[in-house]
Structure 1
């Protein structure tokens, strides 16, 4: 069974992880677990209060196939947790690493976007909020997720394509991913 670790922080964005957690396990057989840099009570942007009792050390011991940094305003704040070593260690261990919206800042700070195609909310968002970001020439201004060599990025407005890319990274069959994206696009046709 593939394993996906969702990294939550204070103020996490409710819509950015929901499709991974809500469909990954029940419909696609992914073991989805939640982790946080500091365990305890978290409040989402939408006001959901949850308790996360697994930290990043436990995440590494669990050995996920994919690590997903969920966005939230904290990533652009001076209070952002420092998780660069954790992300690089997980990548070394063979996990794909995903970041959506503000979560892309954690990937940029870890140097994971320096040499690969990627996207985010904007190039300026990365430049202004991730001090050591050196990947501006690889930035792609796209409304959907970008996946390159196990690094998956998306703007906050792209939870569907981001989820599809995470599913692909853990080995979900292409025909199932196509069904997933078609189903979620049906209301727009």
Structure 2
């Protein structure tokens, strides 16, 4: 795996991928010390996009440059503009990635885009709510596979709702086997509770892994 792909589009929810892209790109807690998974932004074109928080992002790549590899990971953020036909190519690329065994994580509005394309009809999944998908995606036929849970991982697809940023990061890290299990547990507990004892535990797990 050379790098992680992050699809960027106007009105994207900046915060929803904050945890995961920071950890992948920095590699600061990876069990393979000194390694990292650089993050590359992908756009429908090379035109700069404006996030919901007002930040300007110039995509590194376009959709056609995403390699169809089983080791690839594609992160899809929520946004208010997923219904724009310009995003059809990334949804098709998502289908192709899933078909070859690539990894995809979708949060909030991105789950609606997958529902529109029928990609959730035969996979267990979640979203903001079942009502959200049925209301905003008339083509959606996956209600029987909807799970009323905060996050769902089935094989190589991760789905979550708008409040699932930290959970999404944990599941992506686990799916890609980037942290030691003890490190990931302490990392998640620290950012969930803010209790500094978990940060200390996390640091100790990194020291233990360096001594092996």
Q: Is the 8 A contact 1:3 1:170 kept in 2?
A: no
Structure 2 residue 148 is the aligned partner of structure 1 residue 141: yes
User: Given the alignment of the two structures, is residue 35 of structure 1 paired with residue 42 of structure 2, yes or no?
Assistant: yes
Equivalent residue number for residue 109 of structure 2 = 102
SS at the partner of 2:119? coil
Q: CA deviation at 1:149?
A: 1.4
Aligned to 1:174: 181
Shift of the 124–108 alpha-carbon distance from structure 1 to 2, 3 Å rule, reads: same
TM-score by length of 1: 0.88
Runs of 4 or more, structure 1, over 6 Å off, are none
Separation in structure 1 between the aligned mates of residue 9 and residue 106 of structure 2, nearest angstrom: 13
CA distance in 2, matches of 1:97, 1:123: 20
**TM-aligned CA distance change 1:93 to 1:31, over 3 Å:** farther
2:199 is matched with none
**Bigger radius of gyration, 1 or 2?**
2
- Give the aligned partner of residue 163 of structure 1: 169
Aligned pair 1:6/2:6, yes or no? yes
Does 1:84 find its partner at 2:91?
Answer: yes
Equivalent residues of 1:84, 1:109 under 8 A apart: no
Do the aligned partners of 1:9 and 1:72 also contact (CA within 8 Å) in 2? yes
TM-score (norm 2): 0.79
Per the alignment, residue 154 of structure 1 pairs with 160
1:70 pairs with 2:82: no
Identify the residue that residue 17 of structure 2 maps to in structure 1: 17
Give the aligned CA root-mean-square deviation in angstroms. 2.2
Give the superposition deviation at 1:69.
0.9
CA gap of 1:62–1:123, structure 2 versus 1, over 3 A, is same
Aligned residues: 187
Gaps of 5+ in 2: 31-35, 197-212
SS in 2 for 1:60: coil
Structure 2: distance between partners of 1:169 and 1:34: 20
